[in-house]
Amino acid sequence: MYLEKLSLTDFRSYAQVDLSLEPGVTVLVGSNGIGKTNLMEAIGYLATLNSHRVSTDAPLLRFGAERAMIRAKLVRGEQSTVLELEINAGRANRGRINRSNPVRARDLLGICQTVLFAPEDLALVKGDPSSRRRFLDELLVSLMPRHAATRSDYDRVLKQRNALLKSARAGKFSTGHEATLDVWDQHMARAGAELLHARLELVDRLQPHLKNAYAQLTDGSKEATAVYRSTLQDSLDDDGATSRPAESGPADGAGAVTGSDAGAAAPVEDLRLLSVEQLTDRYIQAFAAARRKELERGISLVGPHRDELELVLGSAPAKGYASHGETWSMCLSLRLASYYVMLDDARTGGSPPILILDDVFAELDVQRRRKLAAIVSGAEQVLVTAAVEDDIPSELTGRRVKVIPGGIDEQGNR
Ligand SMILES: Nc1ncnc2c1ncn2[C@@H]1O[C@H](COP(=O)(O)OP(=O)(O)O)[C@@H](O)[C@H]1O
Ligand SMILES: [Mg+2]
């Protein structure tokens, strides 16, 4: 797919800006602070309803404005779609598709698909686990918009359950309340199982692409892997030997007896092989085992909100061990892997996502620049920003657009 038009009203630094775009590569050049990222952020927001820079909407509204508008014309194959998104201060955002009646903003998810690379991506490796969970969930929602509801259901239940645990900790909890907690356990187990199931499946899809992308960007001496570490698995492992009946056949058990700590280790269950229903059961079991600790601490300790996507280079975790260059290669590889997963989807009926590279070339050495440019140059639409044109490798030939204060220099385009 590609964007043919982008118009912004009262978005960030723009009172009004209209940008015409074409398929292929477009490089937007302009000095720092001129508004390049603001344009890219708007496209990313239209795709994911999230900004890659801020976690609330307020900074997206132009100083003093009550609402901002993002309008875009998107072309997918023969079909074109007009998307409008109204970002409101103090009330729900609204969308419109092909000038329809207003719909929930959430109904726009999955229509415009983008993969955005930005300097903030360093947090994928260096940041806390929430950055990586967010990476997974955002991709999940892009691929399967119904999971936006999975996410918000889970967040809602988690909040309520935490409130209950917190009041229990404050001593306002009697045994009668245990029944209420049981009910929340059921809700959270179900919502958590849906989310976990979807994330595990997604990590399996990402894995081969991550490995390939990393090999392409580097000399191939180290292998990149991503391992999903779930608090559910930890809880079951801790608890497994004592309270969980062995579910595997007797032959497996017999095999385990040869180990040094034979008898203690129950066979580890591969959560990826379980259905949503089975995962729900496991969560109920894990919540029961964690109940006492959770009541003491006043928070939910087990669930997808505490899981981690561990990134590994060779045999060491990327976080804390990878060099600056390796860290960048890992971040780029995660984004490229998302792109390839979306592309796989596109082959079965969708349309390739739009690639956005906001100010990333300035961060990379010459080798990585050239390799990245070679990989992305074939995408249906690639939007690149740079303060200095020389940072863009010659492999990335395409239209150049000059960004000037408040808008685009139409004369300067070539
Ligand atoms: N909500 C806002 N209202 C008005 N101006 C804003 C707002 N948010 C950011 N800006 C301005 O936008 C500029 C940054 O634009 P940005 O797109 O990040 O620049 P760059 O071209 O370097 O990527 C800054 O001058 C900043 O003051
Ligand atoms: Mg910028």
CATH number of the domain residue 67 falls in? 3.40.50.300
**In sequence order, what E strands does 188-335 have?**
224-229, 308-313, 316-317
- How many angstroms is it from 35 CA to the middle of ligand 2? 7
- How many angstroms is it from 25 CA to the middle of ligand 1? 24
Per-position pLDDT tens, the chain of length 414: 999 999 999 999 999 999 999 999 999 999 999 999 999 999 999 999 999 999 999 999 999 999 999 999 999 999 999 999 999 998 999 999 999 999 999 999 999 999 999 999 999 999 999 999 999 999 999 999 999 999 999 999 999 999 999 888 777 667 777 888 999 999 999 999 999 999 999 999 999 999 999 999 998 899 999 999 999 999 988 876 445 444 444 444 333 334 444 445 566 789 999 999 999 999 999 999 999 999 999 999 999 999 999 999 999 999 999 999 999 999 999 999 999 999 998 877 778 999 999 999 999 999 999 999 999 998 999 999 999 999 999 889 889 999 999 888 876 666
Spatial contact of 224 and 311, defined as CB atoms under 8 Å apart: yes
In this structure, the chain runs to a length of 414
332 in the same domain as 216:
yes
Question: Which of 8, 12, 14, 27 for mutating ligand 1's site (highest number of atoms within 8 Å of CB)?
Answer: 12
125 in the same domain as 21:
no
Beta bridge partners of 403: 408
Q: Whose CA is nearest to atom 20 of ligand 1?
A: 33
The position carrying tokens 């074109």 is 80
Residue where a domain terminates, one of 350, 371, 386: 350
- How many angstroms is it from 158 CA to the middle of ligand 1? 35
CA quadruple 135, 138, 143, 144: dihedral sign? positive
Sheet holding 2-11, edge to edge: 14-20, 2-11, 67-76, 79-88, 94-97, 103-104
Distances (CA, A) of 71 to 90, 103, 247: 21, 14, 54
Question: Which of 9, 14, 38, 41 for mutating ligand 1's site (highest number of atoms within 8 Å of CB)?
Answer: 38
Distance CA 176, CA 8 (A): 54
217 in the same domain as 138:
yes
Q: Long-range contacts made by residues 311-316, C-beta under 8 angstroms, separation at least 24?
A: 311/124, 311/125, 311/132, 311/224, 311/225, 311/226, 312/224, 312/225, 312/226, 312/227, 313/214, 313/222, 313/223, 313/224, 314/222, 314/223
Which ligand is closest to the CA of 119, given by its number?
2
Looking at ligand 1, which atom is closest to the CA of residue 39? 17
- How many angstroms is it from 16 CA to the middle of ligand 1? 14
79-88/103-104 β-pairing? unpaired
- How many angstroms is it from 53 CA to the middle of ligand 1? 11
Q: Whose CA is nearest to atom 18 of ligand 1?
A: 37
Distance CA 332, CA 322 (A): 14
Rg (alpha carbons) of the chain, rounded to whole number: 24
- Per the structure, the count of domains in the chain is 2
362 in the same domain as 332:
no
Identity of the residue numbered 30: G
User: What pLDDT is stored for residue 408 in this prediction?
Assistant: 86
Ligand 1 environment, Cβ below 6 A:
12-13, 30, 32-38, 59, 61-63
Residue where a domain terminates, one of 296, 326, 350: 350
Max Cα distance, the chain (Å): 77
94 in the same domain as 14:
yes
**Buried-exposed string 297-314: b where 16+ CB fall within 10 A, e elsewhere:** ebebbbbbbbbbbebbbe
Task: State the residue range of the domain holding 206.
Answer: 119-350
Residues 6 or more apart whose CB falls under 8 angstroms from that of 142 comprise: 47, 48, 109, 110, 113, 342, 353
Among residues 86, 199, 113, which one has the least CA distance to residue 151? 199
Residue where a domain terminates, one of 305, 321, 350: 350
Spatial contact of 391 and 363, defined as CB atoms under 8 Å apart: no
The CATH number for 334's domain is 1.20.1050.90
Distance CA 152, CA 46 (A): 18
Tokens of 263: 């008898």
What are the φ/ψ torsions at residue 79 (nearest 5 degrees)?
-100, 135
- How many angstroms is it from 285 CA to the middle of ligand 1? 49
257 in the same domain as 140:
yes
**In sequence order, what E strands does 12-113 have?**
14-20, 24-29, 67-76, 79-88, 94-97, 103-104
Residues 6 or more apart whose CB falls under 8 angstroms from that of 303 comprise: 154, 158, 188, 192, 231, 232, 283
126 in the same domain as 100:
no
363 in the same domain as 296:
no
- How many angstroms is it from 387 CA to the middle of ligand 2? 8
182 in the same domain as 57:
no
Beta bridge partners of 20: 5
Identity of the residue numbered 316: A
Looking at ligand 1, which atom is closest to the CA of residue 60? 1
CA angle in degrees (0–180, nearest 5) for 259-260-261: 95
Residues 6 or more apart whose CB falls under 8 angstroms from that of 133 comprise: 304, 305, 307, 308, 309
Distance CA 77, CA 48 (A): 21
194 in the same domain as 294:
yes
Spatial contact of 204 and 272, defined as CB atoms under 8 Å apart: yes
Looking at ligand 1, which atom is closest to the CA of residue 58? 1
Distance CA 141, CA 372 (A): 26
Run of H or E including 355: strand 354-358
283 in the same domain as 261:
yes
131 in the same domain as 48:
no
